[in-house]
Amino acid sequence: MSFYRKYRPQTISELDSEQMSTRLAKTFSGGNFPHALLFAGPKGTGKTSAARIIAKLINCTHKKKSAIKGISYFEPCNTCDSCLSIIRGNHMDVLEIDAASNRGIDEIRDLREKIRLSPGQSAFKVYIIDEVHMLTTEAFNALLKTLEEPPPHAIFILATTDPDKLPGTIISRTMLFSFSKAGKRDIMHSLKRVVNSEGITISEEILLQISELADGSFRDATKILEQALSEGATTLSQFEKIFGKSSSSAVSVVSLLAKKDTKSLLTILEDLDSSGGDARKFVSDLLNLLHSILLAYYEIKTEEDIIKMKNILTVPDIISLIKLFSTVYPMVKNSSSPVLPVMVAVVEWCEKKSEKLKV
C-alpha cells in the first residue's frame, strides 16, 4: 500500500492542514450537521480525506469528544461498524461519485431517485461528489433542486479543484471550505508523521527539498518521499541525482537574477535540460517565489526566508520579472526545446539596463 493511502488522515485532528482541522473542529463542535458542504482547493490538499472523515463522523455510533486549540468537538471513533465500513469503502449509505466520469443528467436523476429512500445502515446518507465542477449544465440544474429541498437524512459533500466553474446557485446552498496550497511547515509535519511511523532515517534537508518540490500538495510530497526511498535516496547527494541539484532551487535562481549572473543561470538551465528536468515547473516555482517576495514587501508574507529575499530586489524589479516569466510560461509548453525560452528570458533580463538593484 502506498504511503499516501496508508497514512491518509482518519480524524479531524490528523488532517495535515492545521487551519482546516481547526475550522472543521469549530463546525462540528455541536450536534448539528450542515446539509451541504463544498470543499474547494488545489489537488492533494486533503479535500477527499476530509470528506471521508466527516462522513464517518456523521454516522459514527460512538463519537469521541476531543479538543483542539480550546475547541471542544467530536471525532469519529474509527472502531464502530459504520466507521470501519467507510474506511473499507463499502458503506451502503456513503456514496462517492466521480463527476468527471459521471457528469450527465441521467446520473444526477438516478441520485435524486435513490436519495429519497431511507438509509439502510446508518442515520444519514452521505454523497461525496468529487470534481463536481465537471457536471453538465443540465446535471447542475438537477443537483440544485436536490440541494434546495434535500431529505432530512441526506448530506452532500462536494469537492472541486476549480470552484470558479460552479454556478453561484450551487455555491450559495453550501457551506464553503477553502483548502489552500500547503505551506512548508504543514508538509514537513506530514512527511515527519510518515517517516516516524515507518522508522525511516532521512535527513531534514531532504524533507525540506521534498516540501519545495511538492508545490503545496500533501499527496505529491508523500509520493516524492516514497520514490526517493524506493530508489535508495537517503542522502542529499543521492536525492539530488534523482530530483535535481539544490542549486537550481527558486531561491538560488532569484539570487542569481538579482546579481545578473548570466553564466551561472545558463549553467543551471543547461543542467536542468540535460537531466530531463521540468522547465515549466522551474518557471512556476520561480513565479511563486517572486509572488511571495512581493507580498513580503507589504508584510503580507512573514516567513523569515522570504523576508530575507526581499532585500535583494526592488519592487519594480520583482514586477518586471513576474511579467517576463509569466510571458515565458505558456511558451515553454509549446517549444520544441522547453528550456530555450527560459534561457532567452534570462539573457534578456541580465543584459538589459535597469534601475540599480537594492542591496
What DSSP element (H or E) covers 98?
A: strand 94-98
- CATH number for the domain running over 3-178: 3.40.50.300
Longest CA–CA separation in the chain, Å: 73
CA 157 to mean position of chain CA atoms: 18
- pLDDT, one tens digit per residue, over 322-340 is 999 999 999 998 888 999 9
Helices (H), the chain: 3-6, 18-27, 47-59, 81-88, 105-115, 137-148, 168-171, 184-198, 204-213, 218-230, 236-243, 250-259, 262-274, 279-297, 304-309, 315-334, 339-351
Give the residue from 261, 256, 231, 236 showing the smallest Cα distance to 246.
236
Question: What's the pLDDT score for residue 216?
Answer: 86
Quote the CA–CA distance of 306 and 289 in Å, as a whole number.
8
- CATH number for the domain running over 245-359: 1.20.272.10
Question: What's the pLDDT score for residue 300?
Answer: 86
Say which amino acid occupies 263. K
Class of domain 182-243: mainly alpha
Quote the CA–CA distance of 162 and 134 in Å, as a whole number.
9
Instruction: Give the start-to-end residue ranges of the domains of the chain.
Output: 3-178, 182-243, 245-359
Q: Which residues of the chain have pLDDT under 50?
A: 246-248, 355-359
Question: What's the pLDDT score for residue 244?
Answer: 63
Q: Which three cell numbers stand for residue 272?
A: 536542468
How many Å from the N-terminal Cα to the C-terminal Cα in the chain? 50
According to the 3-state scheme, what is the secondary structure of 25-69?
HHHCCCCCCCCEEEEECCCCCCHHHHHHHHHHHHHCCCCEEEEEC
Are 81 and 55 spatial neighbours (Cβ–Cβ below 8 Å)?
A: no
Are 125 and 59 spatial neighbours (Cβ–Cβ below 8 Å)?
A: no
Q: 297-318: string of b/e by CB count within 10 Å (b at 16+)?
A: eeeebeeeebeebbebbbeebb
- pLDDT, one tens digit per residue, over 112-170 is 888 888 998 899 999 999 999 999 999 999 899 889 888 999 999 999 999 999 999 99
